[in-house]
Protein backbone atom coordinates (compact mmCIF):
# COMPACT_ATOMS: atom_id res chain seq x y z
CA UNK A 1 0.00 0.00 0.00
CA UNK A 2 2.75 2.39 0.92
CA UNK A 3 4.59 1.58 -2.24
CA UNK A 4 1.41 2.17 -4.19
CA UNK A 5 0.97 5.59 -2.61
CA UNK A 6 4.57 6.47 -3.27
CA UNK A 7 4.25 5.46 -6.93
CA UNK A 8 1.01 7.43 -7.17
CA UNK A 9 2.52 10.58 -5.71
CA UNK A 10 5.65 10.24 -7.83
CA UNK A 11 3.36 9.97 -10.83
CA UNK A 12 1.55 13.16 -9.90
CA UNK A 13 4.86 14.97 -9.40
CA UNK A 14 6.05 13.75 -12.77
CA UNK A 15 2.71 14.86 -14.18
CA UNK A 16 3.21 18.37 -12.82
CA UNK A 17 6.62 18.46 -14.50
CA UNK A 18 5.10 17.40 -17.83
CA UNK A 19 2.32 19.92 -17.36
CA UNK A 20 4.61 22.88 -16.88
CA UNK A 21 6.60 21.91 -19.97
CA UNK A 22 3.46 21.27 -22.04
CA UNK A 23 1.46 24.40 -21.28
CA UNK A 24 3.45 26.62 -23.62
CA UNK A 25 3.45 23.98 -26.33
CA UNK A 26 -0.30 23.56 -26.32
CA UNK A 27 -0.78 27.32 -26.39
CA UNK A 28 1.33 27.67 -29.53
CA UNK A 29 -0.18 24.51 -30.99
CA UNK A 30 -3.74 25.63 -30.42
CA UNK A 31 -3.45 29.25 -31.43
CA UNK A 32 -0.71 29.69 -33.96
CA UNK A 33 -1.55 26.20 -35.32
CA UNK A 34 2.11 25.41 -35.62
CA UNK A 35 3.71 22.33 -34.16
CA UNK A 36 6.83 23.74 -32.61
CA UNK A 37 9.34 20.91 -32.87
CA UNK A 38 11.90 23.23 -31.27
CA UNK A 39 9.88 23.62 -28.07
CA UNK A 40 12.07 21.19 -26.17
CA UNK A 41 15.14 23.10 -27.27
CA UNK A 42 13.66 26.28 -25.82
CA UNK A 43 13.49 24.39 -22.53
CA UNK A 44 17.06 23.22 -23.00
CA UNK A 45 18.24 26.77 -23.69
CA UNK A 46 16.34 27.96 -20.65
CA UNK A 47 17.97 25.31 -18.49
CA UNK A 48 21.45 26.32 -19.67
CA UNK A 49 20.60 29.94 -18.93
CA UNK A 50 19.48 28.95 -15.43
CA UNK A 51 22.69 26.98 -15.07
CA UNK A 52 24.78 29.98 -16.11
CA UNK A 53 22.94 32.45 -13.90
CA UNK A 54 23.15 30.23 -10.85
CA UNK A 55 26.76 29.13 -11.24
CA UNK A 56 28.28 32.35 -12.57
CA UNK A 57 26.18 34.94 -10.74
CA UNK A 58 25.06 32.90 -7.77
CA UNK A 59 21.36 33.67 -8.25
CA UNK A 60 18.89 31.21 -6.74
CA UNK A 61 17.51 29.06 -9.58
CA UNK A 62 13.90 30.01 -8.87
CA UNK A 63 14.78 33.68 -9.03
CA UNK A 64 16.42 33.27 -12.44
CA UNK A 65 12.95 32.84 -13.91
CA UNK A 66 12.58 36.61 -13.66
CA UNK A 67 15.32 36.91 -16.29
CA UNK A 68 15.00 33.62 -18.17
CA UNK A 69 11.27 33.82 -18.89
CA UNK A 70 11.51 37.28 -20.51
CA UNK A 71 14.58 36.18 -22.50
CA UNK A 72 12.69 33.21 -23.86
CA UNK A 73 9.69 35.43 -24.53
CA UNK A 74 11.94 37.42 -26.83
CA UNK A 75 13.28 34.23 -28.41
CA UNK A 76 9.71 33.07 -29.02
CA UNK A 77 8.64 36.35 -30.55
CA UNK A 78 11.70 36.31 -32.80
CA UNK A 79 11.03 32.73 -33.89
CA UNK A 80 7.47 33.62 -34.83
CA UNK A 81 8.44 36.84 -36.55
CA UNK A 82 11.39 35.61 -38.56
CA UNK A 83 10.76 31.90 -39.10
CA UNK A 84 7.08 31.06 -38.73
CA UNK A 85 5.37 34.22 -39.95
CA UNK A 86 6.97 34.18 -43.41
CA UNK A 87 5.74 30.59 -43.72
CA UNK A 88 2.19 31.10 -42.43
CA UNK A 89 0.70 31.21 -45.90
CA UNK A 90 2.60 28.15 -47.12
CA UNK A 91 0.08 25.59 -48.29
CA UNK A 92 2.15 22.57 -47.39
CA UNK A 93 2.64 21.52 -43.82
CA UNK A 94 6.09 20.22 -44.51
CA UNK A 95 7.48 23.72 -44.82
CA UNK A 96 6.55 24.68 -41.27
CA UNK A 97 7.49 21.30 -39.87
CA UNK A 98 10.94 21.49 -41.42
CA UNK A 99 11.43 25.07 -40.25
CA UNK A 100 11.01 24.12 -36.59
CA UNK A 101 12.83 20.81 -37.04
CA UNK A 102 15.73 22.76 -38.52
CA UNK A 103 15.64 25.23 -35.65
CA UNK A 104 15.63 22.35 -33.19
CA UNK A 105 18.60 20.67 -34.88
CA UNK A 106 20.52 23.95 -34.94
CA UNK A 107 19.84 24.69 -31.26
CA UNK A 108 20.80 21.20 -30.03
CA UNK A 109 24.08 21.39 -31.88
CA UNK A 110 24.69 24.97 -30.84
CA UNK A 111 24.46 23.81 -27.23
CA UNK A 112 26.81 20.97 -28.08
CA UNK A 113 29.28 23.48 -29.52
CA UNK A 114 29.03 25.88 -26.59
CA UNK A 115 28.71 23.53 -23.64
CA UNK A 116 29.96 20.20 -24.96
CA UNK A 117 28.23 16.89 -24.48
CA UNK A 118 28.94 16.83 -20.75
CA UNK A 119 26.13 17.22 -18.29
CA UNK A 120 25.72 20.58 -16.59
CA UNK A 121 24.44 20.35 -13.03
CA UNK A 122 22.57 23.35 -11.70
CA UNK A 123 22.99 23.71 -7.91
CA UNK A 124 19.92 22.31 -6.18
CA UNK A 125 19.80 25.23 -3.75
CA UNK A 126 17.59 23.34 -1.35
CA UNK A 127 15.12 22.22 -3.97
CA UNK A 128 16.19 18.59 -3.66
CA UNK A 129 15.34 18.58 0.04
CA UNK A 130 13.09 15.59 0.64
CA UNK A 131 9.84 16.23 2.40
CA UNK A 132 7.98 13.42 4.10
CA UNK A 133 4.22 13.57 4.13
CA UNK A 134 2.84 10.52 5.90
CA UNK A 135 4.16 7.49 4.09
CA UNK A 136 5.40 9.28 0.97
CA UNK A 137 8.44 11.33 0.16
CA UNK A 138 8.66 14.11 -2.38
CA UNK A 139 11.26 16.74 -3.15
CA UNK A 140 10.63 20.36 -2.30
CA UNK A 141 11.32 21.28 -5.92
CA UNK A 142 8.62 18.89 -7.09
CA UNK A 143 6.07 20.58 -4.86
CA UNK A 144 7.13 23.93 -6.23
CA UNK A 145 6.58 22.63 -9.77
CA UNK A 146 3.13 21.35 -8.86
CA UNK A 147 2.15 24.65 -7.28
CA UNK A 148 3.51 26.76 -10.11
CA UNK A 149 2.00 24.60 -12.83
CA UNK A 150 -1.43 24.91 -11.24
CA UNK A 151 -1.04 28.67 -10.87
CA UNK A 152 0.21 28.95 -14.44
CA UNK A 153 -2.79 27.13 -15.88
CA UNK A 154 -5.23 29.15 -13.78
CA UNK A 155 -3.46 32.41 -14.58
CA UNK A 156 -3.32 31.80 -18.33
CA UNK A 157 -6.91 30.65 -18.35
CA UNK A 158 -8.00 33.86 -16.65
CA UNK A 159 -5.91 35.91 -19.02
CA UNK A 160 -7.53 34.27 -22.06
CA UNK A 161 -11.06 34.60 -20.66
CA UNK A 162 -11.10 37.96 -18.97
CA UNK A 163 -8.84 40.33 -20.83
CA UNK A 164 -9.47 41.93 -24.20
CA UNK A 165 -6.08 40.71 -25.43
CA UNK A 166 -6.82 37.21 -24.18
CA UNK A 167 -10.14 37.18 -26.00
CA UNK A 168 -8.41 38.45 -29.11
CA UNK A 169 -5.99 35.52 -28.88
CA UNK A 170 -8.89 33.08 -28.73
CA UNK A 171 -10.67 34.88 -31.53
CA UNK A 172 -7.63 34.55 -33.78
CA UNK A 173 -7.42 30.85 -32.98
CA UNK A 174 -11.05 30.26 -33.88
CA UNK A 175 -11.36 32.32 -37.01
CA UNK A 176 -8.35 34.13 -38.30
CA UNK A 177 -10.10 36.02 -41.09
CA UNK A 178 -12.97 37.16 -38.88
CA UNK A 179 -10.47 38.31 -36.25
CA UNK A 180 -8.82 40.50 -38.85
CA UNK A 181 -12.23 41.97 -39.66
CA UNK A 182 -12.59 42.94 -36.00
CA UNK A 183 -9.44 45.02 -36.32
CA UNK A 184 -7.13 42.53 -34.62
CA UNK A 185 -3.54 42.56 -35.81
CA UNK A 186 -3.23 38.83 -36.31
CA UNK A 187 0.53 38.77 -36.76
CA UNK A 188 1.02 40.62 -33.52
CA UNK A 189 -1.25 38.18 -31.69
CA UNK A 190 0.75 35.27 -33.09
CA UNK A 191 4.02 36.82 -31.93
CA UNK A 192 2.58 37.48 -28.50
CA UNK A 193 1.29 33.91 -28.23
CA UNK A 194 4.55 32.37 -29.36
CA UNK A 195 6.36 34.61 -26.89
CA UNK A 196 4.09 33.58 -24.02
CA UNK A 197 4.46 29.92 -24.97
CA UNK A 198 8.24 30.21 -24.94
CA UNK A 199 8.22 32.21 -21.70
CA UNK A 200 6.28 29.35 -20.09
CA UNK A 201 9.16 26.95 -20.75
CA UNK A 202 11.53 29.64 -19.47
CA UNK A 203 9.61 29.56 -16.23
CA UNK A 204 9.66 25.76 -16.31
CA UNK A 205 13.42 25.74 -16.89
CA UNK A 206 14.14 27.53 -13.62
CA UNK A 207 12.37 24.77 -11.75
CA UNK A 208 13.46 21.80 -13.84
CA UNK A 209 17.16 22.66 -13.98
CA UNK A 210 17.85 22.16 -10.28
CA UNK A 211 16.24 18.71 -10.40
CA UNK A 212 17.45 17.36 -13.72
CA UNK A 213 20.93 17.46 -15.20
CA UNK A 214 21.11 19.71 -18.26
CA UNK A 215 22.43 18.33 -21.54
CA UNK A 216 21.98 19.28 -25.20
CA UNK A 217 19.48 16.46 -25.70
CA UNK A 218 17.38 17.11 -22.61
CA UNK A 219 14.81 18.98 -24.69
CA UNK A 220 14.11 16.03 -26.95
CA UNK A 221 13.56 13.88 -23.88
CA UNK A 222 10.90 16.20 -22.52
CA UNK A 223 9.27 17.41 -25.68
CA UNK A 224 8.26 14.00 -26.99
CA UNK A 225 6.29 13.44 -23.81
CA UNK A 226 4.95 16.98 -24.03
CA UNK A 227 3.56 16.20 -27.49
CA UNK A 228 1.82 13.16 -26.06
CA UNK A 229 0.34 15.32 -23.34
CA UNK A 230 -0.84 18.01 -25.74
CA UNK A 231 -2.51 15.56 -28.10
CA UNK A 232 -4.09 13.69 -25.21
CA UNK A 233 -5.41 16.90 -23.67
CA UNK A 234 -6.80 18.25 -26.90
CA UNK A 235 -5.26 20.93 -29.05
CA UNK A 236 -4.77 24.22 -27.31
CA UNK A 237 -6.64 23.25 -24.17
CA UNK A 238 -4.72 24.35 -21.08
CA UNK A 239 -6.77 22.39 -18.60
CA UNK A 240 -6.72 19.46 -21.01
CA UNK A 241 -2.94 19.60 -21.11
CA UNK A 242 -2.81 19.67 -17.34
CA UNK A 243 -5.10 16.66 -17.05
CA UNK A 244 -3.22 14.91 -19.84
CA UNK A 245 0.09 15.55 -18.10
CA UNK A 246 -1.22 14.03 -14.88
CA UNK A 247 -2.48 10.95 -16.73
CA UNK A 248 0.82 10.48 -18.53
CA UNK A 249 2.75 11.08 -15.32
CA UNK A 250 0.75 8.38 -13.57
CA UNK A 251 1.04 5.93 -16.45
CA UNK A 252 4.76 6.54 -16.65
CA UNK A 253 5.17 6.05 -12.94
CA UNK A 254 3.03 2.92 -12.67
CA UNK A 255 4.33 1.35 -15.85
CA UNK A 256 7.88 2.04 -14.71
CA UNK A 257 7.28 0.38 -11.39
CA UNK A 258 5.04 -2.53 -12.27
CA UNK A 259 6.09 -3.39 -15.84
CA UNK A 260 9.69 -2.36 -16.01
CA UNK A 261 11.49 0.93 -16.28
CA UNK A 262 13.03 0.12 -19.65
CA UNK A 263 9.71 -0.27 -21.43
CA UNK A 264 7.62 2.42 -19.77
CA UNK A 265 8.23 4.64 -22.79
CA UNK A 266 6.66 2.00 -24.99
CA UNK A 267 3.52 2.21 -22.89
CA UNK A 268 3.44 6.00 -23.06
CA UNK A 269 4.07 6.19 -26.79
CA UNK A 270 1.78 3.26 -27.44
CA UNK A 271 -0.96 5.23 -25.76
CA UNK A 272 -0.08 8.29 -27.76
CA UNK A 273 -0.46 6.37 -31.01
CA UNK A 274 -3.76 4.89 -29.89
CA UNK A 275 -5.12 8.33 -29.08
CA UNK A 276 -3.87 9.81 -32.31
CA UNK A 277 -5.43 7.06 -34.35
CA UNK A 278 -8.61 6.30 -32.43
CA UNK A 279 -9.62 9.74 -31.20
CA UNK A 280 -8.83 11.92 -34.15
CA UNK A 281 -11.75 14.31 -33.56
CA UNK A 282 -10.45 17.73 -32.80
CA UNK A 283 -6.96 16.73 -33.74
CA UNK A 284 -6.94 18.12 -37.24
CA UNK A 285 -9.78 20.58 -37.16
CA UNK A 286 -7.65 23.26 -38.76
CA UNK A 287 -6.26 21.22 -41.61
CA UNK A 288 -9.22 19.11 -42.61
CA UNK A 289 -10.32 20.04 -46.08
CA UNK A 290 -13.98 20.93 -45.90
CA UNK A 291 -14.02 22.62 -49.25
CA UNK A 292 -16.26 20.03 -50.83
CA UNK A 293 -18.76 19.99 -48.01
CA UNK A 294 -20.71 23.19 -48.18
CA UNK A 295 -23.82 23.25 -46.01
Phi and psi dihedrals of 243, rounded to 5?
A: -60, -45
265 contributes a contact to another protein by CB under 8 A: yes
Q: Is 280 in the site for another protein (CB under 8 A)?
A: yes
Rounded Cα gap, residues 292 and 289, in angstroms: 8
Least distance in Å: CB of 18 to another protein?
15
Binding of residue 78 to another protein (CB under 8 A): no
CB of residue 76 to another protein, shortest distance in Å: 16
Rounded Cα distance, 149 and 155, in Å: 10
1 in contact with another protein (CB under 8 A): no
DSSP for 80-105, written as a single string: IIIIIGGGTT-S-HHHHHHHHHHHHH
Smallest separation, CB 122 to another protein (Å): 21
Does residue 27 interact with another protein by CB under 8 A?
no
Helix axes 140-162 and 2-31, enclosed angle (nearest 10): 30
Q: How far is the CB of 279 from another protein (least distance, A)?
A: 11
Transcribe 199-250 into DSSP letters. Answer: HHHHHHHHHHTTTS-B-TTHHHHHHHHHHHHHHHH-TT-HHHHHHHHHHHHH
Q: Check binding of 91 to another protein (CB under 8 A).
A: yes
How many chain residues are in contact with another protein, going by CB under 8 A?
75
Neighbouring C-beta atoms of residue 225, cutoff 10 Å:
23
Q: Which of residues 122-161 bind another protein (CB under 8 A)?
A: none
**What angle in degrees, to the nearest 10, is found between the helix axes of 264-278 and 238-258?**
140
175 belongs to the binding site for another protein (CB under 8 A): yes
Stretch that binds another protein, among 4-12, 42-50, 87-95, 240-248 (CB under 8 A): 87-95
Task: Tell me which stretch binds another protein (CB under 8 A): 112-120, 138-146, 147-155, 193-201.
Answer: 112-120
Q: Which of 78, 110, 140, 150 binds another protein (CB under 8 A)?
A: 110
Instruction: Dump the DSSP string for 124-140.
Output: -TTTT-EEEETTEEEEH
Instruction: Give, as ranges, the residues between 47 and 76 that touch another protein (CB under 8 A).
Output: none
Minimum CB separation from another protein for residue 260, in Å?
A: 8
Q: Which of 97, 136, 140, 150 binds another protein (CB under 8 A)?
A: 97
Residues 6+ apart with CB under 8 A from 253: 7, 8, 10, 11, 14
Q: Nearest distance from residue 142's CB to another protein, in Å?
A: 25
Distance (Å, whole) CA 105 – CA 83: 14
List binders of another protein among 228-257 (CB under 8 A).
228, 231
- The region of 120-128, 150-158, 207-215, 268-276 touching another protein under the rule CB under 8 A is 268-276
Q: Which of 8, 35, 136, 150 binds another protein (CB under 8 A)?
A: 35
Amino acid sequence: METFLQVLVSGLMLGALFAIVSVGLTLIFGIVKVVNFAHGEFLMLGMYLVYLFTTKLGIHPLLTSVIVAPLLFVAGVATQRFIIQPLMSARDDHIQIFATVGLSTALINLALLLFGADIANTPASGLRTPITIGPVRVLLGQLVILAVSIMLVIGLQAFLKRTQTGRAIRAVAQNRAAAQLMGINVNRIYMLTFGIGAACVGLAASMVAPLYPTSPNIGTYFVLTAFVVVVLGGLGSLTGAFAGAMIIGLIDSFAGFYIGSDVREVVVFGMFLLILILKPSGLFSNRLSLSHVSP
